[in-house]
Structure 1
Amino acid sequence: MISRRRVLAGDLIQDSMGRRVIVLGEIEAWTADENRFHVRYGDGSEGLVAPERAKLVREAEPPPGKTNTTRQRGPTPETGRPSLVLDEPDSTVGYAKSKEYRETFLKKNPHLGREVVVHHAVPQHVLVKYPNLFTPNEIHSLENLRRIPKELDSTLHHRDIRGEWNRFFRENPTTTRSKIFRKVREIAAMYGHQFVPPVRGGK
């Protein structure tokens, strides 16, 4: 059984059948005792593993200059449950029940009206470029969505930010979730002050 210390994304655990799986995150339930680990098996399939039926095999190597420390857990704002807490202390994505991300965003921000540009911090193209690294439910979650002023759509959104990601894709034929999140923070540091509301590089 795994203790209630935080198991981080990237950790290797062994389930009750002896299979070793990579942890993608933790599904938040109404009570901590009902939480499950969201995992990926060797064949690329995904599933849930109960902590009491698993044991830790190997901790993920932390990003450079950081250590594996306990993070605050919290529910997805849009629904109150569930959310995935990932391996970067300042980066999270949630778990969206729907892939209609505009509706997800507008439900939380109805005061903005429907004429908004909704930007994915971790871009949708990641699903194609790096299959199995993220799930659509993560990419379209509220935590991964940002608002960009409509007048900046062609410059900030389609030129500056897309240019940054296109360069990242060219330079990284393969990558990790940690590197993706570092790029998200790098872009936020450069352009986050133009989002509504503003986002800092550590977000």
Structure 2
Amino acid sequence: MVLVDDCGIGKTCSAKNIVKSLSNAFYIDCSQAKSKQQFVKLLAKTIGLDNKGKYIDVKSNLKYYLNQLDHPIIILDEAGDLEYTAFLELKEFWNATDGFCGWFMMGADGLKAKIEKGINSKKVGFAEIFSRFSDEYIRITPNGIADKKAFRQELLQQVANANSSGTIPIDTLVKKCLDKETTLRHLDTLLKISA
């Protein structure tokens, strides 16, 4: 699947928490490993494999190991940051682990733009990768202006309620975020200042 949604709504935090709660679930921050070599080495290291040695051997070991694990899932955050050759590696890994490993890509508008540009320009691999990732973009944030505002207010309120330990009233913090049209990152800063 591919999740493409607004910045600052908690995609990364949610993914990290999901990974902690599942066995054989792994989180990869693709902004930290943009080239194909960096990506493969980070993936190997993340799932607990030796990432030293020949690149082809590391890839082979990764494919073998992923097929041996019980229902592994790989969450690729900031997937739009991957260079073209690293992006193509996703198709190879998906093919090698088809039916054994779940793959989940997520990012903001840049990921969607990268995939659509690749597909529209008929660049090798993009249509195939999009097909393997279910041929659709999943979005949590509603599109309508009123619905989006209500969603943001509820999201900010829930996060503030769960994380507030300071003296500033939660409604005040949420209102500041809504008035400035900021994200959960700004709310996090306000919560820290309040504490």
TM-score by length of 1: 0.26
Please identify which structure carries the higher helix content: 2
Structure with the bigger RCO (C-alpha within 8 Å, sep 6+) is: 2
TM-score by length of 2: 0.26
Please identify which structure carries the higher strand content: 1
Higher radius of gyration, 1 or 2:
2
